[in-house]
Amino acid sequence: MSAVTRLLIIILWFFCAVGNSAEEGSYDLNNLSAVEAFEKGRLLRAQFKNIEGRRYLKFAAELGNSNAAYLYAMELTSYNSTIRTPSESRHYLMIAAKYGSRKAMQFLYQHANWLEKEERSFWKKNYYNALINLGSEQPAQALYELALYHKGSDDELSQYYLSRAVAFNHPQALMDLASQVEAGKGIFFLSGSRETNARQTYLKAAETGYLPAILNYIKCLEGAQMYEKAYEWRIKAMEAGDLTSLPILASILTAQSEPYGFVESDLVAAKAYLSVYLESAGTDKLPALYSNVETLFSNLSLTVNDTYDNKLIILENKIKSQAPFYNHDTFWDY
């Protein structure tokens, strides 16, 4: 067989492989329901795989999923925007609102300065009605959003709804209440009681399992130099699926975090955390973090050699049992 013939065979194989791959990707996408495509795109985006996630979100949006349409619109606005982004984002925002996305309705009446005043008033009324309807299914969430709705226009009513949401142990309501206590709201006669009350309220929010509340409580504990307790909650954050807790725990276990010097070094466990991060995360956002994790992983590989393979695999599987790992940002909830 001549060199030219071999080259032609390789080229033909390459294009067949690419074609098959594209067909399989399209086939997979077309076999998903709107909800499945939304959940897939939502997770990919939260794993810093934004470009891949957009494909699923757009597909779900075009099938009429309101949450996908809203998240796709926000993704267009907040990541790698282009000259055509504003009109495309507005298009999907309107679709999301028309299909019933409360977040889209809220955005339109609060921030859509390209709309006429009457149109913004229309979406404000629709958003309020959506909250009232939500009350029968998710009373705690409805009460919390009503507190936000009235904030600034009727603060007394806003506080009433917030207190009702707190009574339901709504994590965001608890966090807002703790923040108010920290800011000086309320009367505390004993020295230090305000800080203690705020911390206890943050703890109550974290105990609901809501990831942002857990991460917020960790910051609270670190601010109070309660690092042993903070480390316990950092483990809980990882177990709740927090993606960025993986490299943080690895850093602690390799003695790179002075406040956590009491934690015994464990290079095998650190490598397992880094391995799971590299497997879970993309590079569309926080590429520097991914690069740093790669470097630390490579350095550990020189020390944690084949001798530790069995232990490493067991630890990786244990960590993966907490999966999927994701970054819970402001757009994760819906």
**Nearest Cα to Cα of residue 127 among 117, 137, 142, 138:** 142
Within a domain: 287: yes
Within a domain: 189: no
Within a domain: 323: yes
Within a domain: 186: no
Residue-wise pLDDT for 175-215, tens only, equals: 999 999 988 876 555 556 788 889 999 999 999 999 999 99
Q: Which of 92, 110, 134 is the last residue of a domain?
A: 134
What integer is the mean pLDDT of 129-139? 97
Within a domain: 183: no
d(CA 163, CA 124): 23
Question: Which pTM was predicted?
Answer: 0.86
Q: What is the mean pLDDT of the chain?
A: 89
d(CA 331, CA 122): 24
What integer is the mean pLDDT of 234-257? 97
Examine residue 139 and say whether the peptide bond preceding it is cis (omega within 30 degrees of 0): no
* CA of residue 12 relative to chain centroid, distance: 42
pLDDT for res 83 = 53
Amino acid 233 reads W
Task: Tell me: pLDDT of 25 over 50.
Answer: no
Residue 1 has which token pair?
């067989």
What integer is the mean pLDDT of 82-109? 90
pLDDT for res 216 = 96
Residue pair 245/237 in contact by the 8 Å Cβ criterion? yes
Q: Which of 94, 113, 134 is the last residue of a domain?
A: 134
Q: Which of 134, 150, 173 is the last residue of a domain?
A: 134
What integer is the mean pLDDT of 83-107? 91
Task: Please tell me the total count of domains within the chain.
Answer: 2
Determine the structural domain holding residue 93 and report its residue range.
Answer: 28-134
Amino acid 121 reads S
Within a domain: 329: yes
**Nearest Cα to Cα of residue 238 among 271, 277, 266, 191:** 277
Within a domain: 298: yes
